[in-house]
Structure 1
Amino acid sequence: MDIRTVIDGLVAEAEGQIRDQVWVLTQADRTVATKAAADLEAAVGAPQSQQALPDVERLAHLREALAAIAIALAHVHGRLAWFLGAAATALTPVLHWRALPAPDGGPTFGTVTPAPKQYTEAEDAVRRLQRALAGIATA
């Protein structure tokens, strides 16, 4: 299952919990969601601008997004923490990607070079997560 599919599932679950009032949002949830949404939007821009970048920059932006999720996670508890933790887990493949060739063909600590499609899927997943967090912020 690709990153985007996992994030779509998490977002659907979160939206359902909010709609069914299983997850009652607090002001702290909204505040953290607002900041996280802004940070994700800053990290991964519009599809056209991202795709025009070299792979090393695209990967750096995806790692920035993952860092933003981790920082948000450090500031909350309960359902928002669980949601952000699951989102961070879904994005962990990004940590195993490399955009640079292995020097001298040597070991790379188990990293792999992702296909261009994988960058796009991960970026789309971050955008989906950003929209969900923006929705949480205003719910």
Structure 2
Amino acid sequence: MDMRAAIEALTEEAERQIRDHLAIALASVHGRLAWFLGAAATALAPVLHWRALPDEHGPTFDAVKPTPQQYTDAEDAIRRLHTTLTHITT
């Protein structure tokens, strides 16, 4: 599952819980919001292995240069995550 799909699945779950009137549970630091944030961090973890500089600038510590599509997917995932977190907290 790519980043965008993982974040989409998480946001659908959060939105379903809000529709089912579980917003109070989501607002808690413990429980579903903590799970949501942890799962979002896991989905976005590939970004930690990306590098922006070319190899000739020194060791990359196994970091990889992402493809343009990976950048696009990550940007879309972050936008979706931002929208969902804004919705959850309002």
TM-score by length of 1: 0.58
2:66 alignment counterpart: 114
Q: Structure 2: which 5+ runs fail to align?
A: none
2:9 alignment counterpart: 9
What is the RMSD of the two structures over their aligned residues, measured on CA atoms?
2.0
Counterpart secondary structure, 2:10: helix
Runs of 4 or more above 4 Å deviation: none
CA displacement, residues 31-60 of structure 1 (integer Å, 9 cap, x when unaligned) = xxxxxxxxxxxxxxxxxxxxxxxxxxxxxx
- AA partner of residue 43 (structure 2): A
Structure 1 counterpart SS, 2:53: coil
Work out the percentage of aligned pairs sharing the same amino acid: 63
What residue ranges of structure 1 are gaps of 5+ in the alignment?
31-75
Number of aligned positions between the proteins: 90
C-alpha distance in 1 between matches for 2:75 and 2:54: 22
TM-score under structure 2 length normalisation = 0.87
1:103 aligns with 2:48: no
User: Aligned partners of 1:102, 1:79: CA distance in 2, in Å?
Assistant: 41
Structure 1 residue 99: deviation in Å? 1.0
